[in-house]
Structure 1
């Protein structure tokens, strides 16, 4: 990845802080919103951990380890729906009802500002976590107004999964660095395998589309927000990015079925041998390499950086952080549970079981992990160069507007120009200071 991308990512993190500082909200005050750090973290006893689906079983394994050592402070996993949008909705409903049902929340990295500003989560004591040993972009996602409200447990950077066996057979020596190179590789493979699809990502109308749309714009040299925090989706670069997705649908480079793909639908398609290229998070690696018969592509694929318009692309920063509900009991237990789950030992066990990206920097140089997951250096670069989504207090409205624009253009309901013009207007209103 280029130094330019790294600078752009750092700049946007700074921009997000400026935008957030100027946004009005119903729950923040001059102190920055949320509860206090140490004073609010009292009480011990059983807690509930609200999270998305545990696809590997390792989350339950770690919880079982905790419960064995803490019989009076047991943790119960509450599995929320698969889609990120639905997880967020359930957590917000719980918070708005001031319910004690959820204690620890597994938050998408982009939700921190919204949950902190509305006082749905409490401030956490930064000095009780060795944050200097974590990836800096991941740490920044847990902060709002320079205070910490969520601890980075899983990071994420987008990767290009590709069928190396098929590229080798077609005489394609290297994974593509640009969109044109990817199309050329697909043409060569499909010359003898017409039934296989070229490329897919997460294109259903949900948070994954916000991620993929952002990546397309960034990989064409644009950004959703400029360095002053103003929306810039009325640019040629944004048009080029969205057109990559729109023209991909029209030309069938992107299979028609991919408009319904979230992470799991796309993963299953790739594992079933239906795709040459797939934009996906690291968690797919272990599942697609399973040798229990669940994957038809085990040992046949590799990963590379995302391609872009004229050079390698730029990932959207992903991941999940753990936070504590402001309305929960037994917050002291919750804090200790987060520390346990975020230890180097626990994070390493999670990488081995799930291939998800750790947030501790030392694990990217761990010999055992590198032997099993040789892509870790590529993943680390993806994360360090990644650009965050707009970190707005009104994030629900921002992401909905982005999804509406991208989905409308990709399905042919509106033109690229009209979709971006309307999105520009909406974002100007939602990020106005």
Structure 2
């Protein structure tokens, strides 16, 4: 099987050229994201599918990848143009309504409901129709070094230093506590304490690592902070409410940590991979990160320095409670697919128990029912927490499934990183965001 990776240029033109040049032209082409656990899991299930005796040569799957930056806009252009470069493509909860006119509803396996549950299947539904199979549930964990936190909580001198640092930087004396009880102020105080530029005795160079690159996915990581303070995109009447005390609190907290050196100085170029690399180096005490990182960060072979001492909990709390952004990723059928039958067959199998467990065992993050997740709970304990945290703390911003939702995230990324990098004031960042969101979501 030939695996084609597209790195730059036009998705449609380069994809077609690459596929025609392949000596092993596959009859079902699946478009996904490169890098990270999603690619690893997709490759694994594809290998299993292609090895099945009931899959003919004409229906074997070839994988096609394009870089994440700008992925959804390029996919929109190709689908709207009637592209036949791929039969099956990646979908997300926040974009499904945008692509539904260019896609076919799909049929899932008879096992789908018992494997995923109805609530998870709904993340791939639009206007009552199933447009995809949900392969990954994305949300955020807080990862932390339990060895460092436990040592801090047992050391009276360290506690005194912690209180001194929190009073100086946050205006109030705080005491160390269990991370499962943290507020966002506790998170900030701990990040400052474990930063050598602030506390020379810190065992780590940085207290945290922030993903500050001008990238829409980084806004999803960030927004659980203002959400915990009551922040939302709009109220029930449709009025944009982002210019609020809640967003000010979130933005100022990130800015404080960045300016204080609690996160690496080049964090303005960080996203998923860079944050993971910083944490696995052993020089970071805690971070907010996608749940997809859990299998790598707790793997002794992949992360030998931190695997045994890393624990995960839900994000910290604010006055309004504890929250984590949540959305689903999956695969649907291109309306202009050249091999619709083959694409539909792959999607149907992908919703089976066999495929879901294979996906889970290869770093994927499917949200499985309690009955099914028990089969991988020992090797993937993070998947048990995935379902629990999603049901307790998961949220979608008001307007987060709108046709222009991705454009809102892109706008926020531009304006908020402009503030964090010192290119504009907080007032300007919020005013510009409010004005842009009003146009996008009107």
Q: Which TM class, normalised by the smaller chain length? A: 0.7 to 0.9
Q: Deviations over 1:137-172 (max 9, x none)?
A: 533332223333222111121000101111122225
Match of 2:367 in 1: 359
Distance 1:54 1:180, change over 3 A: closer
Q: 1:18-33 counterparts in 2 under 5 A?
A: none
3-state SS in 1 of match to 2:138: strand
Q: 1:210-359 counterparts in 2 under 5 A?
A: 210-292=219-301, 294-310=303-319, 313-354=322-363, 356-359=364-367
Distance 1:387 1:194, change over 3 A: same
Match of 2:409 in 1: 399
Match of 2:164 in 1: none
Aligned equivalent of 1:71, options 56, 68, 80: 56
Q: 1:371-382 counterparts in 2 under 5 A?
A: 371-382=378-389
CA distance in 2, matches of 1:136, 1:246: 40
CA distance in 1, matches of 2:380, 2:440: 41
Shift of 1:337: 0.8
- Contact kept, 8 Å, 2:112 with 2:351, in 1: the verdict is no
CA distance in 2, matches of 1:337, 1:224: 37
**Structure 1: runs of 5 or more not aligned:** 1-44
Q: Work out the number of aligned pairs and report it.
A: 382
Distance 1:228 1:145, change over 3 A: farther
- Contact kept, 8 Å, 1:167 with 1:189, in 2: the verdict is no
- Contact kept, 8 Å, 1:54 with 1:79, in 2: the verdict is no
CA distance in 2, matches of 1:313, 1:287: 25
Higher relative contact order (CA 8 A, sep 6+): 1
Shift of 1:421: 1.9
Shift of 1:128: 6.4
- Contact kept, 8 Å, 1:137 with 1:383, in 2: the verdict is no
- Contact kept, 8 Å, 1:286 with 1:353, in 2: the verdict is no
Distance 1:370 1:140, change over 3 A: same
Shift of 1:129: 7.1
Aligned equivalent of 1:49, options 27, 30, 42: 30
Match of 2:92 in 1: 108
- Contact kept, 8 Å, 1:220 with 1:237, in 2: the verdict is yes
Q: Which has the larger radius of gyration?
A: 2
- Contact kept, 8 Å, 1:217 with 1:224, in 2: the verdict is no
Shift of 1:180: 1.7
Distance 1:217 1:136, change over 3 A: farther
CA distance in 1, matches of 2:300, 2:105: 43
- Contact kept, 8 Å, 2:111 with 2:351, in 1: the verdict is no
1:142 matched to 2:142? The reply is: no
3-state SS in 1 of match to 2:102: coil
Q: 1:36-185 counterparts in 2 under 5 A?
A: 46-53=27-34, 55=36, 57-69=40-52, 70-72=55-57, 73-81=59-67, 83=68, 85-116=69-100, 119-125=101-107, 130-131=112-113, 134-135=116-117, 137-171=119-153, 174-175=178-179, 177-185=182-190
